[in-house]
Chain A
Amino acid sequence: MPGAGTPILDQVFDRDSLYALRSAVAAHASQAGLPQGRVGDLVAAVHELAANAVRHGAGHGRLRVWKHDQSLYCLVADDGPPQDAGAAGGTEQQSRDAALWRIGSGRGLWLVRQLADQLSLSSGPHGTTATVIFTFGPPEPDPPFHLSQHS
């Protein structure tokens, strides 16, 4: 991962903590200097990825956010043990496969692609990981991200 140093946010989540996850993402993205309109887009994108992990993946996961080269990277991984398949509701199949994330999520991943500057998905024996990148855009005259809160 490019510049995957110390994350500015590292938080696990499950079905009951998505609200807390969204609040944390909004606060950290805002503090990192992402413009307010883009903060809302980032929160929406991270929520859709986390919702996929909850609904179509392991049922829980982990979010890491870090800053690198004028971009915010958000990595969502459903890297826990899979849920008991019997506990799944309706037709949703529990799977470790990103292909089923795509099918099960309806328009969720589509929305993420509309909002993020970049989205990548990968699947492996340890589950599915999704990374979205939000760039800060052209530097402003007095860029807030030159503050060193996260040194």
Chain B
Amino acid sequence: MTTVGADAQITDLTVNDHACLTFGEPEELLDLTAAFVRDGLSSGLKVVWLSDAAPAQAVSELARRGIAVESAVAAGQMTAAAWEGHLLSGQAFTADHAMGWLSGEMAACRQEGFPGLRVAVDMSWALRPVTGVEQLPDFEEGVAAALAGTKVSVLCQYDRERFDPVTLASVAAFHTRAVAAATYYQDAVLRICRQYAPPGIRLAGEIDFKAEEPLALALAEAIRLDGDITVNMADLAFIDASCVRMIVDATRGLAASRRVVLQCHAPIAARFVLFGAADVLGVSVVTVHER
């Protein structure tokens, strides 16, 4: 299954977009959020992210992806917070309370003098035993109305594996865009998709020569973009000789000014070293550990 371009890219979002992001795994959510935060901060906007993670953990996950969140948090440009006390009030959800929270954020942002606001909300709270979850479509409709004519964009983040299709369909209509990671290949054992922060590609599962074609496409697109490239293989359990060789060959053709980071577990790192990756100028093989 190749689904490149089926949805908007996270980097395409503009002011007053109310975007519906669907993701398949936590790593993908963090990657797409990091890109959303990065692009907001670099445009001088205020950025708010509500998620399941403790604020400190959310900040460190974004920092791990090369985003300068710590300084933004210190400067009041970035807020990472839990749902409770913001979107939710004591395990209860009401569209009125949630809209009140968003209006408050928008007003605060204006007072603080930021040219605009980016809000990302991980919606997985709605999978918890929270009362009032039936008001979710009302909230999404309220957000759509509140954003018209403003410099505010909201990114609602839905786990496509856990939300049922009926719920997703009921909220989709209130969004201006559907956003997902560009996916080059996906089946039961392998996923090849674009990574946005830091830019590159991500391989998860097991890859062999049968996936040479989508791997070549993913590498070619990553190379076509400017700058350094990360090949994130932290969730890759197997890679065969033909795919190792294809990745190493792709790095050889790059200009010397561009760096390539190959992130993987020790056994796969050893394979890349065996195939000469560490001897290619600008390439570093970085060993990741089980989290």
Inter-subunit contact A106/B245 (CB<8 Å): yes
Q: How large is the interface on B (under 10, 10 to 19, 20 to 34, 35 or more residues)?
A: 10 to 19
Q: Is A9 an interface residue (CB 8 A)?
A: no
Binding site secondary structure of chain A: helix
Inter-subunit contact B210/A48 (CB<8 Å): no
Residues on A with C-beta less than 8 A from B245 are 106-107
Q: How large is the interface on A (under 10, 10 to 19, 20 to 34, 35 or more residues)?
A: 10 to 19
Residues on B with C-beta less than 8 A from A106 are 241-242, 245
Binding site secondary structure of chain B: helix
Q: Is B129 an interface residue (CB 8 A)?
A: no
Inter-subunit contact A51/B238 (CB<8 Å): no
Q: Is A37 an interface residue (CB 8 A)?
A: yes
Beta-carbon nearest neighbor of B248 in chain A: A107
Interface hits, B201-243 → A, CB 8 Å: 206, 208-210, 238, 240-242
Cα–Cα, bound, A7→B63 (Å): 51
Given the interface contacts A18-B208, A19-B206, does A108 sit within 8 Å of B274 by beta carbon?
no
Residues on A with C-beta less than 8 A from B271 are 44, 111
Interface hits, A104-128 → B, CB 8 Å: 106-108, 110-111, 114
Given the interface contacts A19-B189, A107-B245, A107-B275, does A43 sit within 8 Å of B208 by beta carbon?
no
Q: Which 10 A-B pairs have the closest CB atoms?
A: A111-B241, A108-B241, A40-B267, A107-B241, A19-B189, A107-B245, A47-B240, A48-B241, A51-B209, A114-B274
Please list the residues of chain B having a beta carbon within 8 angstroms of any beta carbon in chain A.
189, 206, 208-210, 238, 240-242, 245, 267, 271, 274-275
